[in-house]
Structure 1
């Protein structure tokens, strides 16, 4: 069945690489130890030595395979080299075109390449490059959203595109429970990728205030309000916090560059100031006006009722999907 392994893993469940550092070694190892695919988030700047430490710390917490996610929109060549040298199981790529050269180099190192795409054309490019699986992100997803299509329409098209090539399709966007998992399987996906649900776990590096908002709130909005200066033309889905609702119509020519500092944080070992309208979510080190910081979440956030251990999230998905199929759909 669809929950059985893809890419050599026990289960077809992927924990998204949550930025900028929310999916750290503790979360990734917990997911990996449960038989699913945990993915670290590489820094958005070149720091291969630090990334190597991050990978090796994760290896000290699990003897299971895991992955590293790299955003191609930021400097990444040295980080990519580090990932291949460390021979992690999966290289997850996002927000940029996957080339045949990258796939070839990864395969030479024994690393599988799994890009996340948001439209049919990008899926074609990825398939032609020889990738090992494709994450199809729907418009329902939280955080930065690269496409405009709903998951229910896009997944079957990509499934049909790659069916003859044996490339597994992984559905992402708004999936938080076994019902979303089974729905993705019905669309033809062989696995699911969850961000918000793993964000709301005990092991995620998100600030407790952020986690509590994921449980308390149920509405999201697709916007370009945050991080316009640092990452232009990168829309995202966020919680409709009171701060967001007050400032959501900020004129398009304004951005975080000249805004007041509302907090401070440490991200991947670097001390950073957080300005109003920055695209930086609060992690455990963050101090300041947390209520005025961006909080990414997918449309399925209203189904999250509690903070759980990551392994329990995986178990509920697997057992829930099996039960749902047996009770509701078995003949």
Structure 2
């Protein structure tokens, strides 16, 4: 039997769409096969043919439903058309307006829409658009962070805002174990969305050094030094030795005037990686890996080992059940 399922999935556990391509077919299929909601990450440029192939590769590894995450800050119209045509289970969107027209088009294709929000006002707008669920991201989250509120204060407000509507609220930000899952449930969530914990999984497409650092290091920092030219949004990163030595970076400094420190193949496209770039190292990345950005949420200190994604879901679900039975019954 499933426990705390949402949106037709066995468990209320979502694997966040890890950019730029860290949540590939292998990870998403592993999450889906374990009963969670796995999310691919669409390219940050129009590439509908490649995206269709990505979806089909995932379907070759699982017969369970899954979704695709799209960052609306980047070109996306053709990518979304491809997602809807492929009729994946969930379209997850962030960093842009969730319009009624988009929700209507997705529902017409039989696709559920799940936006990620970082503020109360953004949540209100998505509810009015008729979405199927809402991921509420706290400032504790890794990667690019949408808002300034912590999850412990923002989540209950969004839960109250949803009221008796059939819109599951999903908590994101700093959650890495069963205790975080139970805490989110106590705040009103019906599910949790984890990013960093799944980066540190056997199936993720993150570079082995990135995964190792998530186990070895415990501290993160909210900053804006990475990727200023491409995407000037704040992010939470791992406090690697490289980051700790950076000091203050002048406002006019960005990756464009920095040296190339490596190369990476991202969604089939060759990319240079410059110092201070906002692109995390994937399995294909070569060069000075230790000097690249490594996104991580505040739950990083709870990650002690690299395990299969299915094991992560099992520990979350069974651990939460056990904790509730022992502590709250």
1:267 paired to 2:266: yes
1: CA distance, partners of 2:35 / 2:242: 38
Q: How big is the shift at 1:33?
A: 0.2
2: CA distance, partners of 1:62 / 1:182: 28
The CA deviation string for residues 241-283 of structure 1, in whole angstroms up to 9 with x for no partner, is 1111111410111100111000001000000100000001000
Contact in 2 for aligned 1:225/1:248 (Cα 8 Å): no
1:105 paired to 2:105: yes
1:250 paired to 2:287: no
SS in 2 for 1:159: helix
In structure 1, the residue matched to 2:210 is 210
Contact in 2 for aligned 1:2/1:191 (Cα 8 Å): no
In structure 2, the residue matched to 1:117 is 117
In structure 2, the residue matched to 1:287 is 286
Residue correspondence of structure 1 range 178-327 to structure 2 within 5 A: 178-232=178-232, 234-327=233-326
In structure 1, the residue matched to 2:61 is 61
Contact in 2 for aligned 1:218/1:302 (Cα 8 Å): yes
The CA deviation string for residues 50-82 of structure 1, in whole angstroms up to 9 with x for no partner, is 000000000000000000000000000000000
* Structure 1 portions without partners, runs of 5+: none
Contact in 1 for aligned 2:2/2:10 (Cα 8 Å): no
2: CA distance, partners of 1:262 / 1:301: 26
In structure 2, the residue matched to 1:80 is 80
Q: How big is the shift at 1:2?
A: 9.8
Q: Bigger shift: 246-255 or 7-16?
A: 246-255
Q: TM-score, normalising length from structure 1?
A: 0.98
1: CA distance, partners of 2:110 / 2:5: 18
SS in 1 for 2:28: helix
* Structure 2 portions without partners, runs of 5+: none
Q: How big is the shift at 1:91?
A: 0.3
SS in 2 for 1:61: coil
SS in 2 for 1:164: coil
Q: TM-score, normalising length from structure 2?
A: 0.99
Contact in 2 for aligned 1:2/1:185 (Cα 8 Å): no
The CA deviation string for residues 30-60 of structure 1, in whole angstroms up to 9 with x for no partner, is 0000000000000000000000000000000
How many residues end up aligned between the 2 structures?
329
Contact in 1 for aligned 2:132/2:167 (Cα 8 Å): yes
2: CA distance, partners of 1:297 / 1:328: 29
The CA deviation string for residues 11-48 of structure 1, in whole angstroms up to 9 with x for no partner, is 00000000000000000000000000000000000000
1:151 paired to 2:151: yes
Question: Structure 1: which 4+ aligned runs deviate by more than 6 Å?
Answer: none
In structure 2, the residue matched to 1:27 is 27
SS in 1 for 2:9: coil
